[in-house]
Amino acid sequence: MRIEKDFLGNVEIPENVLYGIHAIRAKNNFPCTIRFHKEWYKSIGLVKKACYLTYQKFNDAVQRHYKTQKIEIRKIKKEVIEFMIISADEVSKGKYFDDFIIPALQGGAGTSINMNINEIIANATLIKLGKKTGNYNYVHPIEDANIFQSTNDVIPTALKVTVMQLLNRLESSVNKLRKLIESKEQIHQNDLRTGYTQLQAAVPTSFGKLFSAYNDALSRDWWRISKCSERIKQVNLGGSAIGTSITVPLFFVMEVTKTLQHISQLPITRSENLTDATQNLDSFVEIHGILKAHAVNLSKIANDLRLLSADIGTKEIAIPPRQAGSSIMPGKVNPVIPEYIVSASQKIYANDTLLTQLCEKGNLELNAYIPLIGHTIIETLKLLIGMNKTMEENLITGLKIIKKTALENMLKNPSITTALLHILGYQKASVLAKTMKENNWNIFEANQALKFLPE
């Protein structure tokens, strides 16, 4: 065991772990088992790496311009900052995640997240230097690993990096699903079916029309999602605690976002108003509304396909069987993929309410609830990516149209007489429809009896 101390006292910590006293205190304070998203963890490593690379540039600039003057500013040794860059890069690739012990649900505006990762980077760097973990005289989690940073600019910036990365994946998954549905539209454009309004048979249409409506809905989703990164590309990195850049050199403020943009390959820019970008999180509310709209469209499609494939209904389509549906009824198969899509959509609607209320709960210069805000929007994005994937692979790909049943249902549907109104008039068309219904005849059989139209 090693002993670490802060102004609250001493804490025993296992000898070789990379987390430290701040992470232990947070873990004990927040009895939550919901795991922090690894994607966000990796993005924090990327942001830290950008900060250390920018510090290097800053330090080199100071050395060039003030060779003969004594500058009162903390100077990190060259070897230390180089190893810190490597350690941060390792975090950005997901390494040391087992030493990240902070749960998703917490208080403190993300301070515990930042502290834990500072400790991981500091201790990983100490090991590279041949020192023992916890020997903070050589590399300090706050003095060094947190140089020119604050929780309040690092954590939201890393969240935006994560969201932008996931948005790219979501955009791709939406388009793959949309293209598959578009192919179904083309294949089945002439396969006729009955349209339904309010769960009652309406006028004839085609499966091509059905899939075209889904295709257009997903096309709108694809377009809206493609614009989401524009809403969050401005970050507050360099703004320090409340966006005033206190303790942060101007050189660092001007350069760090450029560095992050370069190493992340994302269109990130520095906000023109760091104070606004620190305290206001309405852009997440805006984006989540677009994500919710996508969930609505997916749920609508899933519900439709579940209904059209139901034994209790017309069963005009067959969805692929994916797993046994009952522990007591042999051979039963349930529409598990549509049910999953509907369930996940409901979770996203709940997330939207949660995120909206948390973003509104910010007070004055900071929103303390960014850990749960971040967890919620990341969860929604990951859910949607998975929903698109399983719909594409496990539902739409193997979906089959039962053409014979669909055509028979359409020809027996009394509403098909609507197409003859301009020929027969409403009165005769009504008689034709009534005859079809009373005798369970299709339109040809009823007309054969009534002789309204030549056969």
Position of tokens 């230097």? 129
pTM of the model: 0.92
CATH class as words, domain 2-147 = mainly alpha
Per-residue pLDDT tens digits of the chain, which is 455 residues long: 899 898 999 999 999 999 999 999 999 999 999 999 999 999 999 999 999 999 999 888 777 776 656 666 778 899 999 999 999 999 999 999 999 999 999 999 999 999 999 999 999 999 999 999 999 999 999 999 999 999 999 999 999 999 999 999 999 999 999 999 999 999 999 999 999 999 888 899 999 999 999 999 999 999 999 999 999 999 999 999 999 999 999 999 999 999 999 999 999 999 999 999 999 999 999 999 999 999 999 999 999 999 999 988 788 999 988 877 677 887 788 889 999 999 999 999 999 999 999 999 999 999 999 999 999 999 999 999 999 999 999 999 999 999 999 999 999 998 889 988 999 999 999 999 999 999 999 999 898 988 888 87
- The dihedral built from the CA positions of residue 231, 233, 237 and 238, taken in this order, carries a sign that is negative
Closest to 364 in 3D by CA, of 152, 157, 160? 152
How far is the C-alpha of 401 from the C-alpha of 263, rounded, in Å? 48
Do 204 and 195 touch, CB atoms closer than 8 A? yes
DSSP states of 389-449: HHHIIIIITT-EE-HHHHHHHHHH-GGGGGGGHHHHHHHHHHHHHHHHHHHT--HHHHHHH
Q: Where are the alpha helices (DSSP H) in 227-281?
A: 228-232, 250-264, 274-279
Structure confidence by residue, pLDDT tens digits, 246-286 = 999 999 999 999 999 999 999 999 999 999 999 999 999 99
Q: What is the DSSP letter of 226?
A: H
Closest to 129 in 3D by CA, of 98, 95, 87? 87
The set of catalytic residues is: 326
Q: What is the pLDDT of residue 384?
A: 98
Structure confidence by residue, pLDDT tens digits, 97-111 = 999 999 999 999 999
Instruction: Give residue limits of the domains in the chain.
Output: 2-147, 153-404, 413-450
CATH class as words, domain 153-404 = mainly alpha
Q: What is the pLDDT of residue 71?
A: 65
Q: What angle do CA 391, 392, 397 make, to 5 degrees?
A: 110
List of residues 6+ apart from 7 with CB closer than 8 A: none
Do 156 and 47 touch, CB atoms closer than 8 A? no
